[in-house]
Structure formats: C-alpha cells, structure tokens
Amino acid sequence: MLSEKKVTLLAVLSTILISSKVIVVKQLLNQGMSADQILFLRMLMATPIFLLIYIFYKKKSSKKMSSTDLVLISIVGIFGFFLSPLFDFKGTNYIPATIERVLIFSYPLFIFIFSIFIGSRKPKITHFIMLLFIFIGLYLSVNGISSHPLTHIGIKGVILVLIAAGFYAISLIVSQRVVHRVGSLNLTVLSEIAAFLIITIYFGINKWIYPIEDTHIRSSSYILLFIMVIFCTVIPFFLLNECIKHIGATKVSLLSIIGPISTTFLDVILLKEILSIYQITGIILVLLSVYFLDFHDKKAEKTKVNPSENHSRY
C-alpha cells in the first residue's frame, strides 16, 4: 500500500508528463509535421492501446450504459479528444509552449462562464475579481506589455488555443454529468474511440494526410509520437486514476497547477524560449487566479464528482 506522500509524488509526476506533451508537439511541428498529422497519428497509436486496456479491465468496470450515456460519451470525445487538441496543436504552431500551457490551463474560466449560463453556478464578487485577474494575467502572458508585441500570427495562435480551452471545458462539463454513471475508464476509452472514428472520417474527407507514406515523416518524428502516446497519454492516465482513488480528485486537481510551471522550465531549457518579466508575471497571476477560482472552490465544496477525473486527456 502506497503512502499518501508517494501517491502525491506520482500525481505530480503524471501532471508533469501530461504537460510535457506540448514540448513534444512543438518539436514535431519544428520537424515539419502538421498539426493534423500529429493529431491523427497520435490517435492512431493510442486507440489500440486504450482498446486493449478496456478489454482487459472491462469486467472490473462493467456498468450498464444507456443510449443517452453513449451520446454524451461521444460528445466528450468530439470536444475533448478531437476539436480541442486539433485547435490546440494548430495554435501551438504559432506561440511558445509555455504560453500554450497557460492558455489551456485557463479552461476553468470557460467552465465558470458556461456554468453561469446554464444556471448551475451562482457567481460571487470574489469570482469576478479572480476573472479580472485572469484576464490581466492572460494579457501579460501573451506579451501584452512589450516593446515587441505579438504579430498577427501570434494572435492567431492565442485565439486558436483559447478556442481549444473552451472546447476542453465543454468536454469536462459533459463528462461530469456522465462519469459517475459509466465510470472514468469507460468514459475515457469509449470517448477516445468515438473521437478516433470522427477523426478518421474528417481526415478521409479532407485527404490532408492520406496516404501516410507520402507525407515524408521522419523516423525521429515517429519516435517522438510514440513517446507522446506512452509517456504523455497512457501512463499518466493510469497514474492519475490510481492517484484519484487514493487521495481524491480534489487534491489531484490542486496538484495540476504544477503542470504549466514545469512546462515553463522545459520550454526555456529545451526549446530556448525567452520570457519577459511581464510574461512571467502574467503566468503567475493566471495560475494563482485559476487556483482560487476553480480549485479552491472544489476543495471547499468537497465534490464527489470532479472534472479532473478526465484531466489526463490533456
């Protein structure tokens, strides 16, 4: 039996691995792959692995699912595994990895806004103060105050990643409504498979990467893709689910703030990106504001069902 300290360290490790995905994506983009190719090949490699996992653990997680549950699972897959990473990968092509992580990490902002519109959350004055800080932090983190402001290409990247964060928020809201009925394993695997089917049709129609052998993808790119699938997707998924069982989804959510911080260091060390003092200030402001807006509320409410049970998707 693992101690709580060891489980916490595993949760931190899984969070770092998940956040490191953007570093790998950035390297693949630098090697000439398109965002579409990365997404398709990632899903192509990951789907058989998740399918084998599902078959192996199916008896342990067998739960009856209604047609409504299957529709909701498909929606989670479309928004969480397809649309969100598609826009995210496209946006990452134009902005530093650190900025991408901060923008994606702002998804609780969208959850908060959506929850107000659907009437499931009543805002307080402190919430609006945190929202203001998040907007200020986002403005600073994307180089809002600088002698070298973002070009229109950089702004395009910011918009694409923010759209990705919005889609991710939708997938988490829907998954929160269905995860307690079908289980996290069924939800993650089946939504991933549903997304892969949609992605296959999508790329088949557009003929963007077919045939694969004509895309001249380097062997080193396939190695990086394999690393991303195994170490940034599959392994963190199991680590997070085990950690949630031992220390709860709320504490795992609290630890996820480490992800963007680790990405910042990796971005500077591996990709040689340079961040201004304004950007660093903005990043810190966003992380702290998101913590108080989303994770602090979760801790206070001690909710049994938490969107972070599917955080491994990212």
Most confident of 21-25, 53-57, 112-116: 21-25
What average pLDDT score do residues 129-148 get? 75
The angle subtended at Cα 110 by Cα 38 and Cα 144, nearest 5°, is: 80
Per-residue model confidence (pLDDT) at position 89: 93
Q: CA–CA separation, 248 vs 298, rounded Å? A: 11
The kind and range of the H/E element at 312 are none
Taking the whole predicted model, whether its pTM rises above 0.85 is answered as: no
**Residues in CB range of 168: below 8 A, 6 or more apart:** 79, 80, 84, 104, 107, 110, 313, 314
Q: What is the pLDDT of residues 211-269, one digit of tens each?
A: 544 557 888 999 999 999 999 988 887 787 777 777 766 677 667 778 788 887 887 78
Per-residue model confidence (pLDDT) at position 294: 64
**Residues in CB range of 126: below 8 A, 6 or more apart:** 292
Which ranges constitute the DSSP H helices of 20-93? 21-30, 35-57, 67-77, 84-92
Per-residue model confidence (pLDDT) at position 211: 52
Tell me which of 36-50, 137-151, 272-286 is least confident. 137-151
pLDDT band at 37 (very low <50, low <70, confident <90, very high): confident
Per-residue model confidence (pLDDT) at position 73: 93
